[in-house]
Structure 1
Amino acid sequence: MTLSSSSNTSPAPTPRPTVREAVLRLLRHLHIDTVFGNPGSTELPMFRDFPSDFRYVLGLQESVVVGMADGYAQATGNAALVNLHSAAGVGHAMGNIFTAFKNQTPLIVTAGQQARSILPFDPFLSAMQATDLPKPYVKWACEPARAEDVPRALARAYHVAMQAPRGPVFVSIPADDWDQPADHVEPRQVSRSMAPDPAVLCQVADALNSARRPAIVAGTGVDRDGAMDLLVQLAERHRAPVYTAPMSARCAFPETHRFFGGFLPAMRERIVEKLAGHDLVLVLGAPAFLYHVEGQGPHLPQGAALWQIVDDPQMAAWTPFGNSLVASLHLAVGALLQACNPPQRPLPAAAARPEPAAASSPMEVAYALQVLNVVRREEDVVVEEAPGSRGVMQARLPMAGPGSFYTMASGGLGYGMPAAVGLALGRQRMGLKGRTIALIGDGSSMYSIQALYTAAQLALPITFVILNNRRYAALQDFAPVFGFAPGEKPAGTDLPELDFVSLARGQGMEATRADDPSRLAEDLRAALNAPGPCLIELVVA
């Protein structure tokens, strides 16, 4: 008997997807469909046959790209994907990778690498020790050992980025990996919230309930964890004033609320002075405390106890005094609210409000921001990078509450303009109303002025407000702390002759200059109601 040939035929094996196909499928599962990048040769294979349901957002410099992704991730609450060129591109991006690390922003940073086949020959545009370059300012870094490991490495990167404390991660991907076979990575859930230890939480609640005059210091983590509304209730129940922690990168408490106590400076002695009279300090979502200059003496007023609740074990570990609880803020504050049993306490004294600033020529920053506060809408958000005017902004431009304010936690310049672009894009994605106001100093703006191009190309609802005082004001004003004589200017801190109207128009954006205080409200209203992005240069004293 002769067997038919068909009886010896096995079904053809299902072809494995390529690395590119597996990565795109994974990204769709993770709800990531936007790539922020500045293209280079080693990244080109990633984008061949780029799918129509993905969007590539072009930035004109790598640090700008990371800043845009940071703002987008903060607006959407999901990790953003950044694609950089190999060593040089990652080097350009490091300033804002550092800021993303300090901001605790979840970013998946990928970088191209030369083809595996020629890596032994130290080829042009390769990255030697690629995973070491962004350290220590990424939570995890990997160059997969095999091409087929790339999708799983990116899955791990996503979960690491999203776990508290959130932050950037880095994956180096050789150029010839994208067409290699791989397996799909099945989606999985990883819990990201950390419940507070019940016994320790009980101690915090007892301390808060028994305090005679408690104070709360709130930081970036409160807004990032969606705990601000709970904090308002907690403060009202305990009649405790709420201070914003030094250098907070987001609004931590509504700044027009009756219980808002003001801003703590990043100086040890001044913090002790501000908190004098309180017998308990509860720090939420912030270091205790962040200092900018050397200080002496105690960290707290005499007789005051401290409890800190943060989602970062490292931050809790280096706190030099008091007790810490590591937990997600919304869970911990919600539990403290349930455990409220305070004694009768007097209302805290209301924070002093500044007298109205008068119009003058040239305009003072205080007057300009006072007018901006009047004409902006409640749903508008502010992204700030004007460190020389931050104290004036805190007095004249109070923030309303959740999602109303963003700045850099790192102190590194070049974040604000691209972050505003990413934030506006993310808010648009989330269906949120309102305009993004980028309040930027003249010196700060020149670190990332290329962000104007992307804003113009995407026609985003952003108004860039440039405070042009023709100097690095923060450095000149801070110089006496470092021994400069009164009025003595450090070298290289004057900035004459910058023309921001021309710079903006050269990148395709409408722009105006305002130097007449009598027309300022009209000029700002026009800038805030423009159909697309625009820039207004405020000439200030």
Structure 2
Amino acid sequence: MPTVREVTIELLRELGMTTVFGNPGSTELPMFRDFPADFRYVMGLQESVVLGMADGFAQGTGQAAIVNLHSSAGVGHALGNLFTAYKNQTPLVVTAGQQARSILPYEPFLFAERASEFPRPFVKWSCEPARAEDVPAAIHRAWLVAMEPPCGPTFVSIPIDDWDRECEPFEPRKVFPSRQPDGTAIARCADALAASRSPAIVVGAGVARDRAWDEVVALAEKHNAPVWVAPMSARCSFPEDHPLFAGFLTAGREAIVAALEPYDFVLALGGPMSLYHVEGHGPHVPSECDVWLIGDNHVHAAWAPAGTAMVANCKAALASLLAMANDVDRPAPPLRIPAPRLDGAAMTDAFVLQCLADLRGPEMVIVEEAPSSRGPMHDYLPILRKDTFYTTASGGLGHGLPAAVGMAMARPADKVIAVLGDGSAMYAIQGLHAAVQHGLSVSFVVIKNNRYEALHHFGRHFGMQTLVGTQFPELDFCKLAEGHGVAARRAEDAASLEAALRWSLSADGPTLVEAVVL
């Protein structure tokens, strides 16, 4: 009879999970005995980096990735990026080693107590199989649940001695989850949209996950409706150079209401529209405004504070709305006023992003984690093509750098640009190692302001003029990069910035640009 390992490897091969992300530990080693030649093991130097790389890889391929962690300690290290994967709705199958079943009653060294509970609530499903021969079925179920909308990570704890046990062959089943829109509900939505005087569309990350970019553009043009981006959206869902692009909603109750005040109908697609970062008061939507929300996440539908919600695939829902749409006669909305060009006299984050926008190709992929520069990015680094922008949906740091590495592995033909704050980069700087090991075409652009600028912004919001523990001027990212084997250049003015970015964007392998800003 084959072993649990042999059956599981064949299952992973059939599911297309032949790239394994991990940081190996003692309780995982038997999984990799006689590791097959058609599999690829991607080592990360810390478990949070491993999880972030797998997240980027899964988003880039659109398929679940497998991550192998080390018992409780490794899972604990990875929890921050596991939380981000959960918020990103990224399909991942996370496995972790467990000590041998025979010694679990004695609380052995490096065992995982209540292993299946530890990663909750940031996984959709988790288990430690009751028997060794149940491991393949558990991994298959984990894959099915991870891939079922709303997608997300799952978890399986596997005792070290399970891999060499005998096991019956396993035949994976086919499951076809459906998120087709309700016919009656979609007809009501179409009627309300057609009857509206001044409609608007709000797009979230689910539009990109459902590959509905073209349908949103078509619907907006059909109804002459301006398109806003939902607060903190982690993906690009509409071309930011389109005449109907209206801008970005701010994650505050009053700001959202003020932005949507001109409209009597709002169609929110693919994510939460009423996502708040600070406390607010008053209504959640403008009075006399009919709000409809469509997306694949029933949780978003349940906690939305206002509007009619429909759980459905955005692409399918938009196809139905387009089929029901008739020609309408509405005036074109006013064009969005572009931000003024900067001359580079001051080396600011906005100028760095403007320069990057001038030099990058629109098809290049941006993976961003520079929270304090998100506003300037909206103004000076527009996203123009589908599937070219990714960021963290959780707000947690340490995702962007390794996610860029995973994205480059998933899309080797594309140049990937990681736009990082200096504080963010330090959460996962070890990810540079994997970029070198795999020769990936990633340009790491670190915006160095020597502080946690986002905290200074919030300090001003709370009336705090002095903050502790937010300065780190001593960091040298060029030396950090070179220590990992990444070529690097520092830019401190407009001329050196342009030269460094041109060099980095034209390079075949990984490079880093440290842009020192005010």
Task: Answer yes or no: same fold by TM over 0.5.
Answer: yes
> What does residue 132 of structure 1 align with?
117
1:56-205 equivalences under 5 Å are 56-205=41-190
Written as runs of structure 1 = structure 2, the 5 A alignment for 1:308-387 is 308-361=293-346, 363-387=347-371
- In structure 1, give the amino acid aligned to 2:472: L
CA distance in 1, matches of 2:291, 2:403: 34
Q: Which residue of 2 aligns with 1:446?
A: 426
Q: Which residue of 2 aligns with 1:455?
A: 435
Kindly indicate whether the alpha-carbon contact (under 8 Å) linking 1:377 and 1:434 is maintained by their aligned counterparts in 2.
no
1:9 maps to what in 2? none
CA distance in 2: counterparts of 1:322 and 1:489, whole angstroms = 41
Q: CA deviation at 1:188?
A: 2.6
Distance in 2 (alpha carbons) for counterparts of 1:342 and 1:221: 27
Q: Which amino acid aligns with 2:258?
A: E
CA contact (8 A) 1:25 1:184 kept: no
Question: In structure 2, what is the Cα distance between the partners aligned to 1:50 and 1:141?
Answer: 25
Is 1:306 the counterpart of 2:306? The answer is no
Report the CA distance between 1:316 and its aligned residue. 0.4
CA distance in 2, matches of 1:147, 1:329: 40
Letter in 2 for 1:68: M
SS, match of residue 512 in structure 2: strand
Partner of 1:525: 502
Question: Structure 1: how far apart are the matches of 2:169 and 2:329?
Answer: 60
Separation (CA, whole Å) in 2 of partners of 1:349 and 1:491: 44
Partner of 1:54: 39
Q: 1:45 aligns with which of 25, 30, 33?
A: 30
Q: Is the counterpart of residue 495 in structure 1 residue 480 in structure 2? A: no
Larger Rg: 1
- What TM-score, normalized to structure 1? 0.95
Computed over aligned residues only, the root mean square deviation of the Cα atoms, in angstroms, reads 0.9
Partner of 1:477: 457
Measured against aligned partners, the alpha-carbon deviations of 1:122-161 in whole angstroms (never above 9, x if no partner) come to: 1000000000100000000000000000000000000000
**Whole-angstrom distance in 1 between the partners of 2:177 and 2:422:** 39
Note the C-alpha offset of 1:342: 4.7
Deviations 1:172-219, CA, capped at 9 Å, x for gaps: 000000011112221332113410010111111111111110000000
**Secondary structure class of the residue paired with 1:132:** coil
Give distance in 2, aligned partners of 1:18 and 1:369: 53
Query: What residue identity is the alignment partner of 2:509?
Result: G
Matched-pair contact (CA < 8 Å) for 1:370–1:397 = yes
Q: Counterpart amino acid of 2:107?
A: D
> How big is the shift at 1:99?
0.2
* Deviation by residue 1:473-498 (Cα, 9 ceiling, x = unmatched): 111012122232xxx13111112111
Look up the equivalent residue of 1:304 and give its one-letter code. C
Stretches of 4+ aligned residues off by more than 3 angstroms? none
Alpha-carbon distance in structure 2 between the residues aligned to 1:480 and 1:359: 27
Take 2:475 and 2:16, find their aligned partners in 1: how far apart are those partners?
42
Aligned to 1:401: 385
**Is the contact between residue 210 and residue 343 of structure 1 (CA under 8 Å) also seen in structure 2?**
no
Contact 1:162/1:192 (<8 A) preserved:
no
* Deviation digits for residues 234-259 of structure 1 (CA, Å, limit 9, x no counterpart): 00001000100000001121111111
Task: Report the equivalent of 1:210.
Answer: 195
By how many angstroms is 1:352 displaced? Answer: 1.2
CA positional deviation for 1:302: 1.8
Structure 2 Cα separation of the partners of residues 472 and 489 of structure 1: 13
Unpaired stretches in structure 2, ≥5 consecutive residues: none
Distance between the aligned counterparts of 2:414 and 2:357, measured in 1? 14
Matched, 1:31 2:16: yes
Flag structure 1 segments of 5+ consecutive residues without an equivalent: 1-15
2:400–2:420: 8 Å Cα contact kept in structure 1? yes
**1:308-334 Cα shifts (integer Å, max 9, x gaps):** 001011110111111000001111111
Report percent identity of matched pairs: 57
Amino acid across the alignment from 1:85: H
Q: CA deviation at 1:519?
A: 3.3
- TM-score, normalised to structure 2, is 0.99
